[in-house]
Amino acid sequence: MRRKSSAVNLFLLPLLHLISEVDSHEMTDQPTKQKLWGGRFTGKTDPLMHEFNLSLRYDRRMYAQDIRGSIAYAKALALRGILSQAEERKIVDGLTAVRKEWENGQFQIEPDDEDIHTANERRLSELIGSLGGKLHTGRSRNDQVATDMRLWLLDEVKEIEASLKALITVMVERADKEQDILMPGYTHLQRGQPIRWSHFLLSHAFSFQNDLQRLRQLIPRISVLPLGSGALAGNPFAVDREFLRRELGFESIAENSMWGVGDRDFIVEFMMWASLTMTHLSRIAEDLIIYSTAEFSFVTLSDAYSTGSSIMPQKKNPDSLELLRGKSGRIFGNLAGFIMTLKGLPSTYNKDLQEDKEPLFDTVDNISSCLRIAEGVIATLDAHKEKMEAALTMDILATDLADYLVRKGIPFRETHHISGRAVALAESRKCQLNDLTLEDYKTLNDKFSEDVHGVFDFEASVEKRNAIGGPSREMIARQINVLRKALAN
């Protein structure tokens, strides 16, 4: 029993300390200070509830967007005559000063600053007096936070787009320079047919190109202005929302105020995009992890993106790639968790939506880092031409052998079986396909002639695959051109 009591006391100690701190503040610092929303409340907030309700520790990163939105809204109020020009200037100057405090690391957070909106408004009122209270006229934190998040995400998407383009560019340029390297292409992790190393790189680059296209398609659905929607029923002072749209750089306006404050589909859609993009990062990471093993030795990662073992001195671990692979699960988890938050919500704003920020911020932070790490890994790894080409065995030209007979007029389904029998014969003799004699081949089919040994040329095999999408030099050049044009748009 004593053990149980001790455990309970240990659990309660942080909470008791928290209550003591909050009670002390309420008694000594600002005993009569009222929350922005506290007009109809007469009782004190439970200290634990006070902490539970706070979001400033993470939404403070939107300080600049919150101030941008407030400056635009002050101008819109002035256009309606709710603020005089002098009042507008004073508010704008005050907000500019608040932004500088954030930028310089001088902003002092108070215990009652619930979120970035209340923190900024509180500080504004400290700087310019009661005039600061006019800024919230006709505006709700509901349309304010929705505006901030869209502005913040639009800013981040620009950076993410640049990182994704840089990753694709590295892959394209590397593919252009290393077209001479041949390697096996794999299905089921079994050697299938010869390809170029460039073809492998570009196969992943096209996945990222689709990600780039999808990211750009998201922007119009993020770039929708909620400001002016009020709490849910619109703005009672007829603020010019078209002015607000232009001032803040949005592409369109939320046409329904209830939807404007309650919609978080743009966050879900971004996290869906991030989950798919991370899936693509995870897949190339897995390929390169395999290719970097001693068993393959196709590539060696730079020391800058590798780590060692705490016990095995010889190890060079591809931790950068493993983290890329691992973080794909984390980012998908953010998406899955937030969708579960959304699925049962009634209309408009509910406090559950405060749970949108941490998964979104975490997703943005991680995918931004992952794209830059992937770019660095691919830019600095060494590709080993001799190792890749040493892995090219004649059995991967079995399809070419079947195609040889197709050109002699035999249906492919028949030539497939003949080529398979040739493979079996070579295996039984423990030799390569090109070691079989013409007489051996004639026992399989009389269409074989002296030119059969011309099949066993890896470069020729690759060059024959010259249809759009193939690994021939001409098609590699075409793929590179397509990607460069896409990047230039």
Give Cβ neighbours of residue 321 (< 8 Å, ≥ 6 apart). Answer: 285, 286, 288, 289, 292, 301, 305, 377
Q: Is 182 helix (H, G, I), strand (E, B) or coil?
A: strand
Q: Report d(CA 429, CA 372) in Å as an integer.
A: 50
Q: Please answer whether residues 69 and 146 qualify as being in contact, where contact means their C-beta atoms are separated by less than 8 angstroms.
A: no
- Strand (E) or helix (H) holding 183: strand 182-187
Nearest in space to 114 (alpha carbons), one of 147, 152, 141: 141
Q: Report d(CA 471, CA 447) in Å as an integer.
A: 28
Q: Is 249 helix (H, G, I), strand (E, B) or coil?
A: coil
Q: Please answer whether residues 185 and 393 qualify as being in contact, where contact means their C-beta atoms are separated by less than 8 angstroms.
A: no
Q: Is 82 helix (H, G, I), strand (E, B) or coil?
A: coil
Q: Is 137 helix (H, G, I), strand (E, B) or coil?
A: coil
The two structure tokens encoding residue 470:
């193939």
Q: What value, to the nearest 5°, has the Cα angle with vertex 315 and ends 312 and 316? A: 150
Extended strands (E) in 301-405: 382-383
Q: Report d(CA 179, CA 182) in Å as an integer.
A: 8
Q: Report d(CA 463, CA 249) in Å as an integer.
A: 50
Q: Please answer whether residues 140 and 86 qualify as being in contact, where contact means their C-beta atoms are separated by less than 8 angstroms.
A: no
Q: Please answer whether residues 448 and 438 qualify as being in contact, where contact means their C-beta atoms are separated by less than 8 angstroms.
A: yes
CA 63 distance to own-chain centroid: 22
Look at phi and psi of residue 348 and say left if phi exceeds 0, alpha if psi is from -120 to 50, else beta.
Answer: left
Nearest in space to 281 (alpha carbons), one of 317, 319, 318, 327: 327
Q: Please answer whether residues 227 and 252 qualify as being in contact, where contact means their C-beta atoms are separated by less than 8 angstroms.
A: no
| Bridge partners, residue 183, by sequence | 195
Catalytic residue among 5, 188, 310, 428: 188
Q: Report d(CA 169, CA 485) in Å as an integer.
A: 11
**Distances, alpha carbon 119 to alpha carbons 111, 324, 374, 406, in Å:** 10, 36, 38, 76
Please say if 188 is a catalytic residue.
yes
Question: HSE of 123 in the Cβ direction (CA atoms, 13 Å)?
Answer: 26
Q: What is the CA radius of gyration of the chain?
A: 32
Catalytic residue among 309, 347, 417, 449: 309
Please say if 292 is a catalytic residue.
no
**Distances, alpha carbon 78 to alpha carbons 87, 120, 126, 233, 245, in Å:** 8, 20, 21, 22, 16
Q: Report d(CA 196, CA 290) in Å as an integer.
A: 17
Which residues are the active-site residues?
188, 309
